[in-house]
Amino acid sequence: MSATTIYLPESAPGPPPASLAASPASLAGLRIAVLDNGKPNAAVVMARAAETLAARVGAEVSLVIKKGPGGRSANAAIPCAEDVFARVVEEADLVLTGAADCGSCTAYSVQDSIELEKAGRPAVVVTTTKFRPIAETLSGHFGLPGVRLLVLPHPLGGTPVPTLHAWADAATDRLIALFTKGG
Amino acid sequence: MTSRYEPETLELGDASPEALYELFEKRHWGDGLPLVPPTRERVDAMLELAAGEPDEVLATLLPRAGVVTRRVVAINAVLAGCPPAVFPVVLSAVRALARPEVNLRGVNATTHPVAPLVIVHGEIAARAGFHAGVGAFGPGNRANATTGRAVRLLLLHVAGARPGFGDAATHGQPAKYSYCVAENLAECPWEGYAASRGVDAPSAVTVFCGEGPHNIHDAEAAGDPALILDKIASAMTSLGANNAPISQAEFFVALGPEHAQSLAVRGLTRPDVASYLYEHARMPARVFRRHFEELAWAEWMKIADDDDLLPMTGHPDNVRVFVAGGPGKHSLLMPSWGMTRSATVPVEG
């Protein structure tokens, strides 16, 4: 039987490759921003994680802001507003962004983090166990397979605040590693 | 400078349907259904309907940012079982999906069960065998079924919308297998949908990323066609649809020909229908505010008092009406994913 030639159905991915921003050796004295996409409990868990981290390493939480225009609102299914992005870059050295606990919000949290890394700001995407595969796949699709991911338990929405705070407090060592070593 | 991309090929020792099926399953390709082998001969036959260079990069599809060429589209059209005559429709639908207002990155990645509906307008519908009459949404018509399927295969293979990885849809939905219909222009009492959107071309394609269809049955027993619209408005007024918190979101309404005729003989135009639905699909602002922490609303909606009745979409033009289907007193409503806009484009090879 002679061989048959078929075309493969996939085409080459086309995004330009990106790389992580330089990771600082120490977090002491640095400014941390929380970029909130408005998902339920995103700000609760990310702000707590940032505050606990800052207290441990001698940093400060300089900004907690929603990602929509003027920081007045947030829409998780579109990119960070330009004015908010500029403010985060201006007022912070490190960024927590998310929550990446759904599909489109994971896509745009990862995208926002890549843009922040390109702007020289190490950015950790706060995701959950159930959305880690999506976050990892999309970071590769967007040209930066090694996006810094903090993986928390799932779900964030509907989880009591004391539990969220406990998850955030338990994340400090991982955040230090993510910001200083990239992973 | 025009960039080019030439797809890779593979030598198959065994080109039986079973072997291809197994190969695709192993490589996490395909939609789970049997496929037609994309041989050079079949792909070349498809490309005879192409108007330009087969390997020219025309667009990229997000989130994977895979490149779209005419040949890449043809390969997936062959896999889907498309007759070559539908190739320009598949290609045009993909071009439309790549437009920024569609927000394909979000459409593909979301946990919402959104699927792109492809609506075929104009003379290519009859020429390529698309079906606009009884049972137009399927099953049973090759052009409709395979065109919708080809679009899905391109989203899987090129856009990377693989469930659990590039597509996080909590449940998925049947419309993600295939979702294509032709406009029933012959029984439309108004101008065609594409012309109403300012697309002046012999043939056009609309893509709309939304839910599967919800049926509206009004038998017109009461003799008042306005009751048809009240039932559609009732179906639109749902807190479960993403239209509720996102005011830019469109509704697509596929009026059955009988409903459309009943409305038209009363003197209602397409904009009249849209305006009526905009006026009647409403809820108090306090209800929206109670249910949604974040409301992606038009600025004017944010200043409403709690008791004000706010519309389910921010403007009458967001209610998009076309005619499809056959005899019977039914119409269909399709809410939007939300952060997306439909696109209507001329059919180009």
Task: Name which of B150, B165, B323, B177 is nearest B253 in CA terms.
Answer: B323
Q: Are residues B160 and B64 in contact, defined by beta-carbon separation less than 8 angstroms?
A: yes
The 10s digit of each residue's pLDDT in B138-157 is 999 999 999 999 999 999 99
How many interface pairs between A and B have CB atoms less than 8 angstroms apart? 147
Question: Is B112–A104 a contact, with Cβ atoms under 8 angstroms apart?
Answer: yes
For residue B327, the model assigns a pLDDT of 98
How far is B15 from A5, CA to CA, in rounded Å? Answer: 9
Candidate from B12, B76, B162 with C-beta closest to A9? B76
Residue type at B342?
S
Q: Are residues B333 and B251 in contact, defined by beta-carbon separation less than 8 angstroms?
A: yes
Q: Looking at beta carbons, which residues of chain B come within 8 Å of A8?
A: 7-10, 75
Question: Is A6–B63 a contact, with Cβ atoms under 8 angstroms apart?
Answer: no
The 10s digit of each residue's pLDDT in B233-254 is 999 999 999 999 999 999 999 9
Mean of pLDDT over chain B: 96
Residue B53: pLDDT above 60? yes
- DSSP assigned state of B99: S
Q: Looking at beta carbons, which residues of chain A come within 8 Å of B166?
A: 134, 137-138, 141
Question: Is A3–B10 a contact, with Cβ atoms under 8 angstroms apart?
Answer: no
Residue to substitute from A4, A10, A11, interface B, most B β-carbons within 10 A? A11
How far is A54 from A75, CA to CA, in rounded Å? Answer: 27
For residue A1, the model assigns a pLDDT of 55
The 10s digit of each residue's pLDDT in B187-226 is 999 999 999 999 999 999 999 999 999 999 999 888 788 8
Q: Looking at beta carbons, which residues of chain B come within 8 Å of A15?
A: 60, 65
Reported pTM: 0.95
Minimal C-alpha gap between A111 and chain B (Å): 10
Apex B310 CA angle, B309 and B314, nearest 5: 160
Q: Are residues B236 and B281 in contact, defined by beta-carbon separation less than 8 angstroms?
A: yes
The 10s digit of each residue's pLDDT in B81-126 is 999 999 999 999 999 999 999 999 999 999 999 999 999 999 999 9
How far is A156 from B156, CA to CA, in rounded Å? Answer: 29
Residue B1: pLDDT above 60? no
| Mean pLDDT of all residues in B153-180 | 97
Question: Is A14–B169 a contact, with Cβ atoms under 8 angstroms apart?
Answer: no
Question: Is A11–B339 a contact, with Cβ atoms under 8 angstroms apart?
Answer: no
* Contact A5/B at CB under 8 A: yes
Question: Is B60–A14 a contact, with Cβ atoms under 8 angstroms apart?
Answer: yes
Rounded to two decimals, the ipTM of the complex is: 0.92
The 10s digit of each residue's pLDDT in B37-48 is 999 999 999 999
- Please provide residue A18's backbone torsions phi and psi, each rounded to the nearest 5 degrees: -120, 170
Q: Is the peptide bond before B17 cis (omega within 30 degrees of 0)?
A: no
For residue A79, the model assigns a pLDDT of 94
For residue A182, the model assigns a pLDDT of 86
For residue A3, the model assigns a pLDDT of 87
Packing angle of the helix pair B142-157, B87-97 (nearest 10 deg): 40
Q: Are residues A113 and A143 in contact, defined by beta-carbon separation less than 8 angstroms?
A: no
How far is A174 from A172, CA to CA, in rounded Å? Answer: 5
Minimal C-alpha gap between B73 and chain A (Å): 9
Q: Looking at beta carbons, which residues of chain B come within 8 Å of A78?
A: 103, 106, 339
| Residue A28 CB coordination number (10 Å) | 9
Residue A66: strand pairing partners: A36
* Contact A3/B at CB under 8 A: yes
Task: Name which of B116, B147, B109, B117 is nearest B130 in CA terms.
Answer: B147
In terms of CA atoms, which chain B residue is nearest residue A4? B12
For residue A183, the model assigns a pLDDT of 66
The 10s digit of each residue's pLDDT in B272-329 is 999 999 999 999 999 999 999 889 999 999 999 999 999 999 999 999 999 999 999 9
Structure-derived torsion over alpha carbons of residues A139, A145, A148, A153, reported in degrees to the nearest 10: 60
Which portions of chain A are predicted below pLDDT 50? Answer: none
Residue B335: pLDDT above 90? yes
In terms of CA atoms, which chain B residue is nearest residue A141? B64
